[in-house]
Structure 1
Amino acid sequence: MTVRFALLGTWHVHALDHLNWALRHEQAEVAVVWDGDETRGRAFAAAHGLPFEKSLAVALASDAIDAVIVDCETTDHPQVIGAALAAGKHVFTEKVLAVDPDDAAALARQARDAGLVLWVSLQRMGEAPHRTIRQIVAEGSIGRVVSSRIRYAHGGAFGTPPIPKGFFEFSAAGGGVMIDLGAHPAYLAMMIHGEVPVSVSAEMSSIAGLGVEDNAAYIMRFPSGAISVAEVSFVNDRFSFSIEVTGTSGMLTCGPVDTVVRLRRAGDDAWVAQPPVLASDDMLSQFINELRSPGRGDALLTLAAEVSSVIGSAYRSAEDARG
């Protein structure tokens, strides 16, 4: 059975990625495009040979639509996702679920009450290095996990990769690098540590002067006493990723030179490359699988709502530090 999608919004930098995921999937079809910015939406739809609908209500009222892909402005998520759920549509959305943690929690409740799948694209969790690290941690190979450090960065503020100017507008994005790249360390750390942080402290700055923060770091403290440090930036010279996970009997590392996961056990000086766990399917394929065979959706939704909470706490901490 083919899942027929409406693409709601083309603002996000990953809108084209999500469209391509759908076009490549043999059981998916994008039937219509809607965008609150009609000029932008019509141009995107025309470029990809898709029909455009200027009314969100009309797009959602169609019985020809089974689910929606939400790539509108992050600040519009509560209204757009809420409307889609109210119309009985399953929702696939780009992170974060909502800028305000209370809005994220409300959307999660709405989806659960309606018996609908609300799937947030936390795409890094399915990549081979992260799946490999989580498996090794679960096996107990490094003992009790006591700390982690996760870094994501690229040069988007300098045009590498090219990012639309609107992506750096606070009124649309709800923030800068903290709410974008900063979401990845939040969910990865919670998955590695198996806990939700009890406190978050952060610092942020603007190097490129784009109107939002482009350089940030935050620290999560977990109930067990473990600490995770997240570093994110839009002002790197290129894409950069690295992760370290330290336990009482060993340490794992990956990046920034390559994506090989290496393990050093206590009492051993050698770093040993670990066999990689295969990457998961893309997040849209996982969403389609969830529609057919529910199982992981509720846990993912809980995690996505916690990400909004962590990022919200990080912003409050950084603002408090500024006085």
Structure 2
Amino acid sequence: MIRVALLSRWHVHADDYAREASEHPSIQLTTVWDEDPARGKRWADELNVDFENSLEFILARDDVDAVIVDTPTSMHKEVIIAAAKAKKHIFSEKVLALTEKDCEDIFSAVEEHNVSLMLSLPRLNDPTYLYAENAVQDGLLGDVTSIRCRLEHGGALATKSHPNGWLPTHFFNKEQCGGGALIDLGAHPIYLTNRFGGQAVSVYAEMNAFTNRAVDDHSTVIVRYASGATATIEAGFIASKSPFILELHGTKGSILVEERTLRIQSTELEEEGWITPDLPEQAASAMDQWVEEILTGTKPRITKEDMRVLTRINEAAIASSKTAKRVSLNSEAHASV
């Protein structure tokens, strides 16, 4: 049994991870810490577990083998490295950190202290992604030439019940989040296109604040890859009815995904025109992969490279938006204008 402490209820998905952990046969929730003690105490009472007021003390507890980190993104590096040094396994909400250098520091601590690190990148486990990944690897699209991925909701839009939008106010706090729509919701299109595109060589970004927040509420990013392919990534908080869209186009075919539906057309298939294929089963969740690595050493499908390059693209996009210029990524993966 893996005894787990919950570190912060700041993120909107914190309750989801607490629920998944509490229902997992190999996890036991033991205690809660929060940078906001009042919020943490309420959460601990709801879950009927201990509340610990000190991060140092909670990481020193013998009944804590692992932690789930849902602090503000700006605190990830400090909290995750402290957990690694205390030899606690770590599960965290995306993104891992605000800079690639911070990611590398986290990886060094995790490797030095031999603990498992998992980041929740759920769309890598979705049947539509799994089918598309296999189709690309099997050559059904030929050489991938362009990618488009869009994910948007209306969390920043005023409604009768939520005049400031349904996202919590702190999701527009630049200091805590490091950004807005792109660094949060845009993480999903970024890590998906990274998988399909390969090595990114340049990034150009437009970040807009339609609702006049301090952070972007809609962003568009163009990524160019070493293969010659390009990707258009769109993310926002200002479209209430926008579906998830993934398009993959290549020299021999295309894949179109809308929400959970996938169609493919390929010169490599016997069928003419668009077909709707059978999809594989849902892959193990990030939490299941994390638990399996802790218990058996099984290598997760979600990798440190997924985590690293997600932050790399975000960091370059911010630099591009500030300068209104395309940002090149050199061989050492640091952005330069």
TM-score strictly above 0.5: yes
Shift of 1:218: 0.4
What corresponds to 2:329 in structure 1? none
259-268 or 177-186: bigger deviation: 259-268
**Which ranges of structure 2 fall in alignment gaps of 5 or more residues?**
160-164, 326-337
112-121 or 59-68: bigger deviation: 112-121
45-54 or 122-131: bigger deviation: 45-54
Instruction: Work out whether residues 155 and 240 of structure 2, in 8 Å CA contact, stay in contact via their aligned partners in 1.
Output: no
Alignment deviations for residues 181-219 of structure 1 (CA, whole Å, 9 cap, x no partner): 1111221112123x1211111001011123211000101
What corresponds to 1:296 in structure 2? 299
Shift of 1:321: 1.0
Alignment deviations for residues 99-131 of structure 1 (CA, whole Å, 9 cap, x no partner): 122101110121122221111111111111111
What corresponds to 2:137 in structure 1? 138
What corresponds to 1:24 in structure 2? 23
What corresponds to 1:259 in structure 2? 260
| Structure 2 residue matching 1:178: 3-state secondary structure | helix
Residues 1:231 and 2:234 aligned together: yes
In the alignment, the residues of structure 1 paired with residue 44 and residue 243 of structure 2 have an alpha-carbon distance, to the nearest angstrom, of 33
Equivalent position amino acid for 1:301 in 2: K
Instruction: Work out whether residues 72 and 177 of structure 2, in 8 Å CA contact, stay in contact via their aligned partners in 1.
Output: yes
What corresponds to 1:273 in structure 2? 276
What corresponds to 1:48 in structure 2? 47
Give the TM-score, by structure 1 length.
0.94
| Structure 1 residue matching 2:32: 3-state secondary structure | strand
Instruction: Work out whether residues 221 and 227 of structure 1, in 8 Å CA contact, stay in contact via their aligned partners in 2.
Output: yes
- Counting only pairs closer than 5 Å after superposition, residues 80-119 of structure 1 correspond to structure 2 as 80-119=79-118
In the alignment, the residues of structure 2 paired with residue 137 and residue 159 of structure 1 have an alpha-carbon distance, to the nearest angstrom, of 41
What corresponds to 2:181 in structure 1? 177
Instruction: Work out whether residues 97 and 120 of structure 1, in 8 Å CA contact, stay in contact via their aligned partners in 2.
Output: yes
| Structure 2 residue matching 1:261: 3-state secondary structure | strand
Shift of 1:298: 8.9
Residues 1:214 and 2:213 aligned together: no
| Structure 1 residue matching 2:205: 3-state secondary structure | strand
| Structure 2 residue matching 1:162: 3-state secondary structure | coil
What corresponds to 2:162 in structure 1? none
Cα 1:299–1:159 shift into 2, 3 Å: same
Equivalent position amino acid for 1:167 in 2: F
**Which ranges of structure 1 fall in alignment gaps of 5 or more residues?**
none
Instruction: Work out whether residues 88 and 116 of structure 1, in 8 Å CA contact, stay in contact via their aligned partners in 2.
Output: yes
Equivalent position amino acid for 2:41 in 1: R
What corresponds to 1:33 in structure 2? 32
In the alignment, the residues of structure 2 paired with residue 44 and residue 9 of structure 1 have an alpha-carbon distance, to the nearest angstrom, of 9
Equivalent position amino acid for 1:225 in 2: G
Cα 1:206–1:225 shift into 2, 3 Å: same
